[in-house]
Amino acid sequence: MATVVETRPTATTEALPGKRIWGVTRIALGLIFLWAFFDKLLALGFATGRAEDGTIDFFGEAAWINGGSPTYGFLTYATKGPFAEFFQGLAGQAWVDWLFMLGLLGIGVALTFGVAMRLGTGAGIVLLMLMWLAVLPPTHNPILDDHIIYSLVLAGLAAVKAGDYLGLGKKWASLPIVERYPILR
């Protein structure tokens, strides 16, 4: 006669699907930031390098590597509301372009690989909130838009240590420099 052993789910097995979802969400959001970086760097024709008639100038003069400004179009033409003049004054400035591009790259790498999540999510929230302020009020809702939602997701990723799931977060956290300076976690 076979003995039936009843097993109960543990906290670990119950949480595993949620951990995987946070891991996949982290990677997906990281790839969004990396895609924005590469599109602006190389003018791949999605947000950068597409003419009004729909033609694409791949690797053309709009590409950051060819002297194009990754911030000029958005800060010049998309800004509105009470802070529009401030943001328009930043359009195309080299230091703004560099900060923006390094931010996209750093946030994208941090999220995709699950390393330096505190810095990556914090920088992502700051970048997204600045972009939200630049278009205030949003087009389809007086307060909420995708910048706010993405910021909440980034806060959630940081809160659950999503870099540890499907990422290098645990290995990263064990590095001596990260142990010494927890902000790098």
- The model's pTM: 0.88
Tell me the pLDDT tens digit for each residue of 88-131. 999 999 999 999 999 999 999 999 999 999 999 999 999 999 99
**For the ranges 12-16, 30-34, 55-59, which has the lowest average pLDDT?**
12-16
Q: What integer best gives the mean pLDDT of the chain?
A: 91
pLDDT at 11 over 70: no
pLDDT band at 55 (very low <50, low <70, confident <90, very high): confident
Which candidate, 65, 85, 66, places its Cα nearest to that of 75? 85
CA distances from 149 to 30, 144, 164 (A): 15, 8, 22
Instruction: Say which residue, 30 or 58, is predicted with more confidence.
Output: 30
